[in-house]
A and B are shown apart, each in its own frame.
Chain A
C-alpha cells in the first residue's frame, strides 16, 4: 500500500490540529475538564457547607464535642463521644470478622478455584454486594436479633464468666447490640474487602509462586514466602477501605444496634453510632440540635476520609503496580 504525500498547504493546518489549537477541541477539552473539576467542587462544597452549618454547635460545645459523653438535646449539651465510640467499636468488630473471612475467600479464588468456580464465586460475591443495606437491616431486625440473643446468652453464661472475657462478653445480652451490628457489617463489607484482596493477590506473578512450590513448599508455605510479603500493604489498604465502608454504614446499623448510646466494653449491650443518630433524629432537629447532628456528620466525614486517604497513601507508597491495581 502506497502512502501518498499529504496535499500541499495542509502542513500548517495539520500542525494547528496537532497542537489541539482548534476551537472545537478546546471547547470539548474544557467541558471535560469542567466535569472533572465538578468532583473537586462537590467535595469542597460538602466540606464547606457541613463545616459552616456545624460551626454553631462546635463553637458552643468546644472540644468537649468529641470528648464528652453527655448528649442531651433537651439541655443543649452535645458530647458525641458515645456515638464516636459506637461507630468505632461496631466497625472494629466488623473488621475483625471480615478480614479473615475475606482473605480466606480471596485466597480460595486465586489459589484453589478452577476457572468455572472462580466465575461462580465472583458472581456470588457480586450478588452479596448488591443486596441493599436496608434489606440486610430489615432481615436482621425481623429474623436475626431474637435467635442471636439466645446465642449471646449462652456465650455470656460460658465464656462470659471468665475473668477478662467477662468485660467483653458478660451478660445481660441484647439481640440489638454492638455485636449484632458488627456481625451484619462484617457480612456487608466482606464483598469489597474480598474483591480488593483478590486483585492485590493477583499482582503476584505465577512464576514466583511456582518457584516456591517447586522448592517443595506446601501451599501455605508458598503463600507465606512468595505472596504475603509482597501484598502486605495492598491487603492492609483493602482492609482499611473496608473499615471506612463499615464506619459510614448507616441503615443496617441503625436497625440493629439498639439506638441507645453508651460507652461500655460489653459487646452484647446496646449502643448507637454517629450515622444512626443522624438517621433517627435529623428529620426533626432544629437549631443547635440540628447543627450538632451536622457536626456528627462532619466528624464521621472526617474519620472516613482519613481512613480512605491513609489506605491510598499506603498503596502509593509501595509498589507502583499495586497502586495501579487497587486504586
Chain B
C-alpha cells in the first residue's frame, strides 16, 4: 500500500531539491535521534528503581527508592488506591503501582512473578497451585464489600429481589421488568415493561466468580448457566459485557433496562440504584458497609485465612458480600522489596483499615484482623 499523498505530490512535482538542503535535513534527523537516545539513556541511569519483575531485586538499601508492582481484582481497586495514596506520606520512597485487570490477571501475573503481589476475590484452584513459580502463596484478607445488583430502569426506583428471581434474570429466563416473578418480590410496585439487558464482565473476574457462586448456591434450580467461575461465557444472548467493575457500571449507567453486578464502591460513585436482596434469614437487605460487616462476622475463617461470606447467616447480613485478598509469596526473593511489601501489608492491616469505610468497604472484624496480622510473621525475607 503506497502512501498516496506522497506519490501524488511527487509525481506532480518530480525532481528533488538540492542535496545541501537534504543534507541539512539528514543532519537534523541524526541530531534528533541522538538526543532521543540520550534521553532514553539518561532515564535509565538516573532512575535507581528496581525493574518490574520481582526476580531481579535491586538491593539499593533501605534508603533507596523501591517500586512494588501489583495487579488483579478491580473489586478492591478503589480501596487499594486509597491506601496507596495514604501510604505515600508514610513511606515516600516506596512507589506502589496497582494495575487492576481482574483477579485472573493478578493470579497469572503472580504465577509468572511479573508482579510482587496480586489482588484477588477468588481462590487459587487446587490444580493451579503448582504453577506459582515462587512457591507457597499467602492469603491476606484486606476488606470485604457488597456486590451490588445495580440497575438502570426508567420508572423503577426501588427493587427487591429474591435469589431465585435474581438467578432467573441472569439466566435469561425472565426477559422483561414487569415479569410476574419480579412483581411477586415487589408487591404494590408498578413495573415498566422494558426489556431486561444483563450486564456482565468481559474479562476474567473474581466478582463474577463470587456472584455466580451465590446465584448457583442460593438460586437453586433457577440458575441455568452451569458451573460458577471467573470467566462464565454461557450468558444469555441479550447481554452486554464491560471491562472491569467500572466497565459494567458504565454500561449499566447508560443503558435503559440494564442490570449488572458491580462492587459497592464503584456503584456508589456511579450513582447507580441497587436492589435489596433477600438473605438466608428471609429479610430483604440493601447493600451497605454494615450489612457486609455482618456477613463477614457470620462466616467461618479457614486456617489459611480464606472464607466465604456468600449467603451468610444473620438477620442483617447482605447475602452477596464478597471477600477479597492480597496474595503474595511466602518466600520473598529481594530484601528491599520483601521488606517494603511486608511494611505495606502491615499498614493495610493496621492503620489502613480506618480508610475502608470512607472508600465504601467493610473493614475486617477484629478477630480476622488479628489473625491476618499474625500471619505477617510468616513472610520470609532474605537477609541480604
Contacts and interface: CB of A to CB of B under 8 A. Distances in A.
Assess A/B contact in the complex (Cβ within 8 A).
yes
Interface of A: 71-75, 122, 126, 145-146, 172, 174-176, 192, 195-196, 198-199, 241, 258-262, 264, 269-270, 272, 280-281, 283-287, 289-290, 325-327
| Max chain A C-beta neighbours (<10 A), residue from B2, B103, B202, B255 | B202
Contacts of A196: 1, 4
B381 interface: no
A270 B8 CA distance: 42
A284 B104 contact: yes
Contacts of A270: 237-241
Contacts of B56: none
Nearest to A145: B254
Contacts of A290: 108
6 tightest Cβ-Cβ pairs between the two chains A and B: A284-B105, A284-B104, A74-B229, A259-B241, A259-B202, A195-B4
Contacts of A259: 202, 240-243
A274 to B, nearest CB: 14
B128 to A, nearest CB: 7
A26 B237 CA distance: 63
Given A280-B243, A286-B131, A74 B104 contact: no
A174 B230 CA distance: 25
21 contacts: A72-B232, A72-B233, A72-B234, A73-B229, A74-B226, A74-B229, A74-B231, A122-B8, A241-B1, A258-B240, A258-B241, A259-B202, A259-B243, A260-B241, A262-B237, A269-B237, A280-B241, A283-B101, A284-B109, A285-B204, A286-B131
Contact of A286 (B2, B102, B111): B111
B235 interface: yes
Nearest to B194: A172
Given A146-B254, A259-B240, A284-B101, A198 B235 contact: no
Given A258-B240, A281-B203, A71 B254 contact: no
| Max chain A C-beta neighbours (<10 A), residue from B1, B200, B239 | B1
A269 B241 contact: no
Nearest to B250: A141
B242 A74 contact: no
Q: How would you classify the secondary structure of chain B's contact residues: helix, strand, loop or mixed?
A: mixed
State which size class the interface on B falls in: 35 or more
Given A126-B5, A192-B1, A196-B1, A284 B102 contact: yes
B104 A260 contact: no
B4 A199 contact: yes
A285 B108 contact: yes
Contacts of A258: 239-241
Q: How would you classify the secondary structure of chain A's contact residues: helix, strand, loop or mixed?
A: helix
Given A73-B204, A284-B204, A286-B131, A176 B240 contact: yes
Contacts of B109: 284
A302 to B, nearest CB: 20
A196 B101 CA distance: 39
Contacts of B230: 73-74
Contacts of A327: 1-2
Contacts of A264: 237
B195 A172 contact: yes
Given A269-B238, A281-B204, A285-B204, A73 B231 contact: yes
A199 B231 contact: no
Contact of B238 (A174, A283, A326): A174
Given A196-B1, A260-B241, A262-B237, 10 more contacts: A73-B231, A74-B226, A172-B195, A174-B197, A174-B240, A175-B255, A195-B4, A241-B1, A272-B241, A284-B102
A280 B240 contact: no
A33 B182 CA distance: 71
B229 A122 contact: no
A73 B227 CA distance: 11
B254 A74 contact: no
Interface in B193-208: 195, 197, 200, 202-204
A285 B4 contact: no
Contacts of B352: none
Contact of A172 (B2, B238, B254): B238
